[in-house]
Amino acid sequence: MDWENGLGGGAQKPAALMPAITFDVFDAGLDVSKGRSVAGANQLRTLTNAYVTTGKALRKRPGLTKVATLEAGTKGLVGAKGKLHTFYAKGSITHSNTLFQANFIPHPNNSAQDVNKIHSGTDFNGYIYVVAEYDDTNVYHHYLDDPGAWAASTAYNLGDFRRPTTPNGFRYEVTTAGTSGGSEPAWPTTVGTTVTDGTVVWTCRSHNVTDANCPQSKAIAKTAQKIWAIDNEVVRFTATASPRDWTTANDAGFLPTGLQALGDPTATALGTFRNYLAVFGGAWVQVWVVDPDPAKHSLFDQVQGLGTTFPRSVADLSGDSYFLSSLGFRSVTLASATQNIKDLDVGSAIDKLVRQDIPGMTDPVGIYWPGGGQYLCADKTTVWVYSFSRTAKISGWSKYTLPVSVDDMTVLGGDLYIRSGDEVYKLDDSAYTDNGSVFKVNIDLPYMDMKSPGVLKQIIGVDTVVDGSGKVAIAYDARDTTRVTQQIAISGNTRPGDITPVEVCATEASVMIENEDDKAFELQAVTMYYENLGPV
């Protein structure tokens, strides 16, 4: 906040020595933790469809550019290996858009069941590890590795796996050792069915992870060259670099997380930050030191009274783990001075708003977008966005409202992609509409009394520094937020010329900015001119 005097300037500027107040630092973003009349000048009452930049200005959010309308029948969206991966379990699906790859993951026991939802997916050693829920509500893990192609006249050992020379989505296990024939057999496509090939007997298998110790649960994480998965009161992990192996002694195993928990010992979510594994319960967070060597695993620290029941909301941002709890958005981080973990009320600025939505949330999706320096958590058409930069010293929330409901989000090549039904969009910095539809930006500053509470002021007008154009109005009664002046058009930098006249008398006032067009918009500064008229 900058107090100015002797502004002078153009003929229509206020007389010299008339007080003015300038707002040009918006680093706090959306913050409703205080009342609208006592909030700081940088704590915005409304910040919709805009975000805090590293220059501490407010910029219109990226628009949605439609990337593709996918062929019907797939679910999920996982960015890996230069592709956007989707998943299906019935029929045969190939995406016409070559940015996408449809992956066949049939139900291991019932070919009539289709994929209902993808809970998580990651690239592991160059192949996709994915967790799928089917229409019958069963959840299975799949590892879409390539066992190598079948070859003629080749000796195969019991337990070897191969695929057809033209992949069909299945892998085939040698259940009778021998030597393959001179020509490729007709491969069966029903799991458990066999085919004789020379003296070899092959049995059809899916890419489902069949190890009995794999918990087939929804929440997984990847770190220390292992896959980790919740199994009620423990967290199981694979052998190093072997995502199908959940059993090998002294390599695979489990963490006894439930023994350390106070209250309900059931783990609910997993996350990673720095070199740690974060294990969440409904009301606790444990941070574990993990390593390819299980002998080096140890409980590092834990926080009680904080946790999450929204496993897909967890994301790693700049070495901290962010998530949605029953209280609002929170994070766990490592305190450098004590080398203990601590919980941060990172979302306290918007708790009042988020807690209203939590009862209706089912499976909010969180992600870290490096290209935007932001943590985003989407629930249906609402996206809560946290813009963060230690270098620029900004940390501010905002709210995006989208015209589509978010099912999945993923990052590929620095771009953030959103799936809604069979439509896939990219959050596009060069787009100022949502696939051609204009959206509205709303920015409301707090009610300011110009450090003179109880003194009636005559607001003369405002100057604005914006890229683009919009509308400005003054709200003049914090007790009744509908009491607002008529909107006046603004464009560009008005400081060198005439002010925008917005006249009203009030003891305190809030500047309200709106943009609704198909062009870029950024608010850099607002100056409000006024005269003190005396005590009320």
DSSP string spanning 335-347? ETTTTEEEEE-TT
Residues ≥6 apart with Cβ < 8 Å to 185: 195, 196, 197, 202
Cα separation, 511 vs 526, in Å, equals 8
List per-residue pLDDT tens for the chain, 536 residues long: 333 333 333 335 655 567 899 999 999 999 999 988 888 888 999 999 999 999 999 999 999 999 999 999 999 999 999 999 999 999 999 999 999 999 999 999 898 999 999 999 999 999 999 999 999 999 999 999 999 999 999 999 999 999 999 999 899 999 999 999 999 999 999 889 999 999 999 999 999 999 999 999 999 999 999 999 999 999 999 999 999 999 999 999 999 999 989 889 999 999 998 889 999 999 999 999 999 999 999 998 888 888 999 999 999 987 889 999 999 999 987 654 345 555 568 899 999 999 999 999 999 999 999 988 999 999 999 999 999 988 888 899 999 999 999 999 999 999 999 999 999 999 999 999 999 999 999 999 999 998 888 899 999 999 999 999 999 999 999 999 999 999 999 999 988 888 889 989 999 999 999 999 999 999 999 999 999 988 87
H or E stretch including 357? Answer: helix 351-357
Token pair recorded at residue 326: 């029953």
Token pair recorded at residue 156: 């195969």
Collapse the DSSP code of 101 into the 3-class scheme (helix H, G, I; strand E, B; otherwise coil) and give the result: strand
Provide φ and ψ at 311, rounded to 5°.
-60, -30
Cα separation, 352 vs 308, in Å, equals 18
Q: Cβ distance 440 to 395 under 8 Å? A: no
Cα separation, 143 vs 146, in Å, equals 9
What the chain holds in terms of domains, given with CATH numbers, is 2-61+441-535 (2.60.120), 121-128+213-419 (2.120.10), 155-205 (no CATH)
Cα separation, 1 vs 4, in Å, equals 10
DSSP state of 319: T
Tell me which amino acid residue 318 is. S
Collapse the DSSP code of 91 into the 3-class scheme (helix H, G, I; strand E, B; otherwise coil) and give the result: coil
| Torsion angle of C-alpha atoms 25, 371, 270, 84, degrees rounded to 10 | 150
Residue by residue, what is the 3-state secondary structure of 321-333?
Answer: EEEECCCCEEEEE
Q: Is the pTM of this model over 0.75?
A: yes
